[in-house]
Amino acid sequence: MSHPASSSASPADDPRRPRPSGPDGTGSEVLYEERLSPAWWMWLLVLFVGAVVFVSLAPVNPWVAAAAAVVAAGGAGIALAVSSPSIVVTREHLQVGRARIERRFVGEAEAFRGDAVRWVRGPELDARAYMNFRASVGPVVRIRITDPVDPTPYWLTSSRHPERIVEVLAGR
């Protein structure tokens, strides 16, 4: 997960600091990394799932209902955490979720916030684009793809720090 710089964040958590990708310092240097983890309010849905299961089964057997509620909420929580994609930018590659492309095929990037997000994700959206949206992450970044054999015109992904991705991809 990406963390904005603050006095309580360690230097390793700062998305503005390049770091080696390998534990031994080898491999491609990670210039930016962000995990699109769910917002706090998404975890309320996990509690809701547990409550619904409990209320549904409580008339039959309260102990079974409690156990099933814990299992259902735990499963929903694990699914929510595991389904959180990452954005990773290195000198050689860009990876958004499971999609990965060489940086030489990455063109201009644009950041969008507020009302502009609705237009970019709605009327202006090209159906051929690779999309990676998260309900709990509002801002988006549009990254042009310049690969002549790839029909995908751009990638559009949610990001909590879209301006930082634009800076990193532009080499600033």
Distance between CA atoms of residues 164 and 33, nearest Å = 10
Instruction: For 62-93, write each residue's pLDDT tens digit.
Output: 999 999 999 999 999 999 889 889 999 999 99
- pTM confidence score: 0.72
Edge-to-edge strand order for the sheet containing 130-132?
106-112, 140-145, 154-158, 130-132
Query: How confident is the model at residue 19, as a pLDDT?
Result: 55
* For residue 112, pLDDT beyond 60: yes
* For residue 109, pLDDT beyond 90: yes
Distance between CA atoms of residues 87 and 159, nearest Å = 8
* For residue 116, pLDDT beyond 70: yes
* For residue 13, pLDDT beyond 50: no
Q: What angle separates helix 62-82 from helix 40-57, to the nearest 10 degrees? A: 150
What 49-54 contacts at long range (C-beta under 8 Å, 24+ apart), as own/partner pairs, is: 49/73, 49/76, 50/76
- The number of angstroms, rounded, from the C-alpha of 102 to the middle of its chain's C-alpha atoms is 19
In this structure, what DSSP letter does residue 12 have? G
Other C-beta atoms lying within 10 Å of the C-beta of residue 166? 18
pLDDT band at 100 (very low <50, low <70, confident <90, very high): very high
Distance between CA atoms of residues 15 and 11, nearest Å = 9
* For residue 17, pLDDT beyond 60: no
Average the pLDDT over 137-166 and give the result. Answer: 93
Residues of the chain with pLDDT > 70, as a percent, come to 84
Query: How confident is the model at residue 47, as a pLDDT?
Result: 94
Distance between CA atoms of residues 93 and 168, nearest Å = 12
Other C-beta atoms lying within 10 Å of the C-beta of residue 168? 19
Residue 156 host element (H or E)? strand 154-158
Distance between CA atoms of residues 125 and 146, nearest Å = 17
CB-CB contact of 85 with 96 (8 Å) = yes
Average the pLDDT over 104-111 and give the result. Answer: 93
Average the pLDDT over 137-160 and give the result. Answer: 93
Answer yes or no: CATH 2.30.29 is held by domain 11-36+84-169: yes
Query: How confident is the model at residue 27, as a pLDDT?
Result: 54
Indicate the average pLDDT of the chain. 84
pLDDT band at 149 (very low <50, low <70, confident <90, very high): very high
